[in-house]
Structure 1
Amino acid sequence: MASSCWCWFSVYFAASITLGVIAITATIHPSSKNSSPSQEITPLTQSLSRNASRALRKAGYTHMADLLHRSPPFFLPPQNTTFFAIKDSAFRNTSLPRWFLKSLLLYHTTTTKASMKDLLHHPTGTCMETLFRQKNISLTKVQRKSLEINHVKVSNPDIFHGEHFVIHGVLAPFSPLRRQDLQGGSDFIHSPTCRSNQNATNSTTFADSKNVSEWNRIVQVLGSKGYSSFSIALHSVLGGIEKDSMNWGSSATIFAPPDLGLIGYPATLLDRAVRLHVLPQRITYRELSSLPVRTLLKTVVPGEDLEVDGVLDFMPGVVISGVEIVAPDLFTSEKFVVHGISRAFKMAELTA
């Protein structure tokens, strides 16, 4: 009787994948009025998807291969990430709702690119942040040549190792697939506990142990939130900005436009354009809202300030130098805050 109840699983699972295409694509690649940069990176992304899918299929991860190689794209992780593919057998006798499939893939994608060699260099209890609501996965068992994450064995390390993307195969999902575990809705995934360092009060994270700065984390978050153009631009000039940030106390506010519009321009112009979107202090959306109209905001470009316009009748969000904040507090930490804006700020020499 039980086997007959699940005989339709393969059909239902295929239908779930097909119906989930729109939901996942919208999450990974939000629409934007200024989407021209996506045309520049699309060939690389399609090639990456095709090669990764081929490697997964060869390793026996057919379901995951199908997810990565569909038209239109079903799941295209941002650059500098790691994807943990789930073995086909783990889906047997299971039906997955669309929202769960979407969340599952995001939870199996970390914001840091890491080979098996990289992973084995870190102690048990190290955590890695995922694309699913910044929830973590944990290295729960680290041995000389074997690794478990959330108590799930990494069975096929380095299935695919590209310049910007790594895939490892795991025996089971990092979160249960049982029906009774799905009753909590989108909160079914709970981050594991990160083991604290003996010499520090903060939890060990993969980014900390690799000495990856928070600037790099912001680059990764921007890419995963649909601001890939600005993420690429910031990454290209990050060395100078990160070095100079030491002079202003390492805190910053970043205004992220959907399209900077200067990819491919001279490095000096691109650097100045990015810096025009950075303030040398942390200012939350609430704090911006309370500032008087015509308040000047000092950027890290000498002599070029932004101006608070306040809330205008025809724009619901706070307006800075004629540009609306459409995604306030997109990313916040102790020293950083990122706000999504509707378009890029204009540089003085370009408007003269």
Structure 2
Amino acid sequence: MAVTAGKLLFLLVTAILASYAAVSHPFPPPSQPLLIPHTITYPPSLFATIFSTLGFQELSIAAVNANFSFPTPTTIFAPTDSSLLTCPACSLPLLIQEHSIPGLYNLHFLRNLAFGTKIETLAPNRCLTITASPTKPYEPIAKRKVFVNGVEITKPDLFNNGLFIIHGVHGFMSHLSPTSCAVEKMTTLAFPNQPPDTAEFLIMRFLLKEAMMLLRVNGFGLLALAMRVKYPELSQLKSMTIFALDDASIFAGGGGHAYVTDLMFHIVPGKLLKGSDLKNLPVGFEIPTMEHGQKLVVTTAGGAGFLAPMKINYVKIKSFDIVTNKRIVVHALSTPFSHVHRPAVNDDSCNQNHAGGVCENSSGTAQMTGREGE
């Protein structure tokens, strides 16, 4: 039944498009040259029907109130309803324009584009950046995941009638930057308040750029965006260790949304603590963070294998060294860190007045070690 409904929708839309184009743009007399129209305004109900049938209810509602003028053929990257919740202030008509590009780009074609290819959208002076996940040697290209400005295409080639292709995308949404078409100024790297271009700063800027790009490609787009916001502070560091939560875990709820607002509590400044370094830390070891006066505590030492994974603040380290370079290392968490409140030395009582977090009945501190940025 689903296949039949899809075929009926395809035939219906094709017929409407053809008839509407014929009525709106009749053929000229034989004495005049045949001009192919560059822009056609379709009735709002047409796109509302398409989006609604494909499951994009928010876009369907927006289409009713907007007259979409698209040059045909066009490829549309349609965000899911849950993705639109990440940008409540976004203008949906503008967002659709910013995620629509002239031409037909099916998934196979997108997979074969050069990494970082920029394609101009229907919104003036706005470009989308196409990237794909890396593949292992001898792994077929067909296994590549494709990302549009860091947002994954999760439902490719949902609709294709020869005039339009619609792909479903899921992830963090935002309007495109005015510098999105500039090769040297990608949206995720349009940092505010840049300090003077010293050699040290240029190195960190390059490594931040590299880390953020890898994070977005590997499903940590929200972290990459938060790092951009915190760029003035991060660019001053010589090195850092970041404990990351992926986008899927943040969108899944269960407290994951608190990770972005509590980001500084998940960053260790001035220390490059790789997986091998963390596994050697003893229980009770305290690790300073960028949140003033707050430290992380090793609650389960590493090196015990799969049955007893390392835990910091009672949170399991899911994966070590997911992104690493000479100044930055990123480890993946299962959930965000909770604040662990430790009593003073020789005080076995647990202060129950702490707001949130975990209160321990133990004490003791340890001096920080670890490699400085190389």
TM-score relative to the length of structure 1: 0.42
More helix per residue: 1
TM-score relative to the length of structure 2: 0.40
